[in-house]
Amino acid sequence: MNIDHFQPTFEYAKQLDKDDPLACFREEFYVYPHSIYMDGNSLGLLSKRAERTLLETLEDWKRYGIDGWTKGKHPWFFMSEKLGEMMAPLVGAFVDEVIVSGSTTVNLHQLVATFYRPKGKRTKIVADELTFPTDIYALQSQLRIHGFNHYTQLIRVKSRDGRLIEEDDLIAAMTDDVALIVLPTVLYRSGQLLDIKRLTAEAHKRGILIGFDACHSVGAIPHSFSDWDVDFAYWCNYKYVNSGPGSVGGLYVNRKHFGTNPGLAGWFGSKKDIQFDLEHTFIPAESAGAYQIGTPHVLSIAPLIGSLEIFAEAGIERIRQKSLHINQYFMNLIELELADMEFVIGNPREDERRGGHVCLEHREAARICKSLKENEIIPDFRAPNIIRLAPVALYTSYEEVWRVVQTLKKIMTEKEYEKFSNEREVIA
């Protein structure tokens, strides 16, 4: 696929779909028949394979009862480890460095409780002011648990423009009083992709541990956490990985930290072969499995088995290639068709600096999102003025992107948005 010969026509969009090597995977998903789904960066669509593996797991429960822990299509006892192995290629890790467990916030608490070890004047944690609020809440509470004032000990690096965070500013904050750094791989509003490799190297030069929130990159962007020597990472699986609402998350711990006792110990972090000895002496697993806390949420994990089968076949490199291409096509259409309508593309334009969604800014963003929904297009609003639109490589077509831009043009030209209030819904 080549964007150099871009044309704004419907015929060109159809040709791009014809040439798309991932187009066949669209049939794997329950795509909305009469609307266009552009919110996969918030909740991915259901795939037929995810549905199948959930139903297979229910059948195991129905058939085997408690013996489902070791019998059936997907035995539960090793399910988290199996899925960690399946997820490892998506984050560029060794199979024993990844485990499917917990949720974004629970896993962040676990990892900070494990790796935040204030000593001497090294007591501060560095984050950024544009990160998702749950990360800030968790970091503040961890500082309070250690008896620190989170107003002074949590450093939130400022954005120069309210959209992006400069790596140079993050590096400047890596002072000799910092014990830990926690940053997003991709900023959830603007879609900026940070230079993970550079930031990790700079942190380690200064003797600081660094971890990443990969919620907005896993499933859309290739990672090389092991090669980059990232200390830890965590993410949800219900966005680009399409594992379902509230699905179980994932975490990565670099092998060099194996043997570090989890800050929050629980029985499912035990060494597997002695877990059911039920002794009161905790012996952690010799892998990322040590950082599990409680019993796996089996029915919330099951859809991920089918979903990851699709990723193994499609390949994360090909997914990234299409994601970059279809988003560039999207931005080209926006600039051509929506000129003089006060839209601003708020995400970085360079391939190496952008994630999986287009950040479209407009002062009437909330009203425009409501009008898009009335036109059977599902967008995503983020206050105060951002429309997030995510063409997902596995199931979004170029024709759909073309139709979204034409609908936006109609909404603005005919002022359809004016009948709505410029306030977000309860769920944005």
Q: Please tell me whether 133 is known to bind a ligand.
A: yes
d(CA 128, CA 348): 17
pLDDT at 5: 84
Average pLDDT on 384-408 reads: 98
pLDDT (0 to 100) of residue 73? 96
The reply to whether 161 sits in an annotated binding site is: no
Return all residues near 217 (Cβ < 8 A) that are at least 6 apart.
185, 186, 193, 223, 235, 240, 355, 356
Separation between Cα atoms, residue 388 and residue 396, nearest integer Å: 15
- Quickly name the fold that domain 3-30+315-419 has: Aspartate Aminotransferase, domain 1 (3.90.1150)
Q: Is 238 annotated as a binding-site member?
A: yes
Check whether 104 is labelled as a binding-site residue. yes
Q: Quote the percentage of the chain above a pLDDT of 90.
A: 95
Whether 398 and 17 have beta carbons less than 8 Å apart is answered as yes
To the question of whether residue 262 is assigned a binding role by annotation, the answer is: no
The answer to whether the annotation marks 267 as part of a ligand binding site is yes
Q: What is the pLDDT of residues 12-32, one digit of tens each?
A: 999 999 999 999 999 999 998
Q: How far apart are CA 81 and CA 173, in angstroms?
A: 36
Nearest to 249 by CA among 197, 275, 288: 288
Q: Is 295 annotated as a binding residue?
A: yes
**Overall average pLDDT of the 230-245 stretch:** 98
Binding residue per annotation — 134?
Answer: yes
Domains of the chain, by residue range, sit at 3-30+315-419, 52-313
Considering the four listed CATH numbers 3.40.640.10, 3.40.1260.10, 3.40.190.10, 3.40.366.10, the one that applies to the domain covering 52-313 is 3.40.640.10
**Per-residue model confidence as pLDDT tens digits over 334-388:** 999 999 999 999 999 999 999 999 999 999 999 999 999 999 999 999 999 999 9
Q: Is 193 helix (H, G, I), strand (E, B) or coil?
A: strand
282 is in an annotated binding site: no
Is residue 3 predicted with pLDDT exceeding 60?
no
pLDDT tens per residue across span 55-101: 999 999 999 999 999 999 999 999 999 999 999 999 999 999 999 99
- Between CA 403 and CA 416 the distance in angstroms is 16
Q: pLDDT of 175-230, one tens digit each?
A: 999 999 999 999 999 999 999 999 999 999 999 999 999 999 999 999 999 999 99
The answer to whether 200 is a known ligand-binding residue is no
Q: Is 351 annotated as a binding residue?
A: no
